[in-house]
Amino acid sequence: MKFIDEAIIEVHAGKGGNGVAAFRREKFIPKGGPSGGDGGRGGSIFAVADRNINTLIDYRYARVHRARGGEQGQGSDRYGAGAEDITLRLPVGTIVFDADTGEQLFDLDRHGERVLLAKGGQGGLGNLHFKSSINRAPRQCTPGEPGESRRLRFELKVLADVGLLGMPNAGKSTLVASCSNARPKVADYPFTTLNPQLGVVRTGPAKSFVIADIPGLIEGAAEGAGLGHQFLRHIQRTRLLLHLLDFAPMDGDSDETTIVSKLVRDVRTISEELVRFDPELLKKPRWLILNKVDLLPDSQWTTRWKAVNKSLRWKGEVRPISGLTQQGLSELMHDIQTWLDAQQEGQIEDAQPDVRFAHHADQSP
């Protein structure tokens, strides 16, 4: 499934500092020579491809990136200091376009690849550069050059990191709408979702992942029941599956034993359909998400889960949440992020921290 993540930003490199005209003024030296220093270089803006960044979502929040100007030169031969450069960390695979002309500028397809997005202005020259045998007291100096400014468009083809799985009405779309920027349709009838949809979940600065909402699966999907099972291919390449279970099915007069056996059956049905589509899918890490716990009193879900798990013997992670009231949701998303991050390794050593995030502890070099 093609999903294009996109962001348009502005980059403004810093202006060079001005050079100055000054003369040596010392005791007993009545006419000192020129001593005006050069201005410092303006900060440039670079981009570096970093495999630890998954999406472009941060660049939809922070659209304008400005580097500082260089310092002015000063008297007594002192040069102005250069300004610090800024490095924007982008996901590997990002293509950079000039947003105004549409021209493709860079294709960052390698971890660690570093490119110049906007060059800082050169500092101006101080008058000490203009001294010559015929002009020993030059008053010339030049201003700093302006930094480059550009509007850029980033484009990234993304695949889902996390895939949702479950029966119709389990609350998959509600969950995706609560935790990501996607707005899938939600309704209280089965098969509301007809096509998979991807959303970006942002868990912190420079931290995000992509989640895929897919249609509900039912028993016999392999034979074409419901919407069939072909859409399972969209979660074949994900790294983690979230298996959503409606843990508070509303069967008015059912007793607890009936509900418990229905829940056990629901989980098994999905596992069986997974195997029938592709046995490899069953080996993929899968977390069981007990959804809609807002409908149950606090202690009931634990008791119910104990009963369900007597038969189910679930070995992996289990989380009670409510996609609707968002109970347990942000913890779950952070745990998923941590889990995904743990699978990736190799930070870029030479990348400077992005100044926008420099105050965040997790961005310290």
Ligand X SMILES: Nc1nc2c(ncn2[C@@H]2O[C@H](COP(=O)(O)OP(=O)(O)OP(=O)(O)O)[C@@H](O)[C@H]2O)c(=O)[nH]1
**Contacting ligand X (CB under 6 A), which of 121, 124, 216, 320?**
216
List binders of ligand X among 279-298 (CB under 6 A). Answer: 291-292, 294-295
d(Cα 79, Cα 20) in Å, to the nearest integer? Answer: 9
Told to check if 329 binds ligand X by CB under 6 A, we report no
Beta carbon of residue 189, minimum distance to ligand X (angstroms, whole number): 7
Q: Which two tokens stand for residue 43?
A: 């900060």
**Contacting Mg ion (CB under 5 A), which of 192, 269, 271, 352?**
192
Question: Which of residues 63 and 185 has its CB atom nearest to Mg ion in the complex?
Answer: 185
| Spatial CA neighbour of 215 closest among 165, 280, 179, 177 | 165
Told to check if 234 binds ligand X by CB under 6 A, we report no
Beta carbon of residue 173, minimum distance to ligand X (angstroms, whole number): 3
Please answer whether residues 40 and 17 qualify as being in contact, where contact means their C-beta atoms are separated by less than 8 angstroms. Answer: yes
Told to check if 65 binds ligand X by CB under 6 A, we report no
Query: Strand order of the sheet with strand 240-246?
Result: 197-204, 207-213, 162-166, 240-246, 286-291, 318-320
Told to check if 178 binds Mg ion by CB under 5 A, we report no
Question: Which of residues 147 and 320 has its CB atom nearest to ligand X in the complex?
Answer: 320
- Per-residue binding letters, 153-172, with Mg ion (x by CB under 5 A): -------------------x
φ/ψ region of 237 (left if φ > 0, alpha if ψ in -120 to 50, else beta) reads: alpha
Query: Strand order of the sheet with strand 104-108?
Result: 64-66, 4-12, 149-157, 94-98, 104-108
Told to check if 212 binds ligand X by CB under 6 A, we report no
Cα distances (angstroms) measured from residue 152 to each of 6, 9, 59, 94, 269: 11, 5, 11, 12, 48
Beta carbon of residue 266, minimum distance to ligand X (angstroms, whole number): 12
Please answer whether residues 201 and 211 qualify as being in contact, where contact means their C-beta atoms are separated by less than 8 angstroms. Answer: yes
Q: Which residues bind ligand X (CB under 6 A)?
A: 166, 168-174, 186-188, 190-193, 215-216, 291-292, 294-295, 322-324
Q: Which residues bind Mg ion (CB under 5 A)?
A: 172-173, 192-193
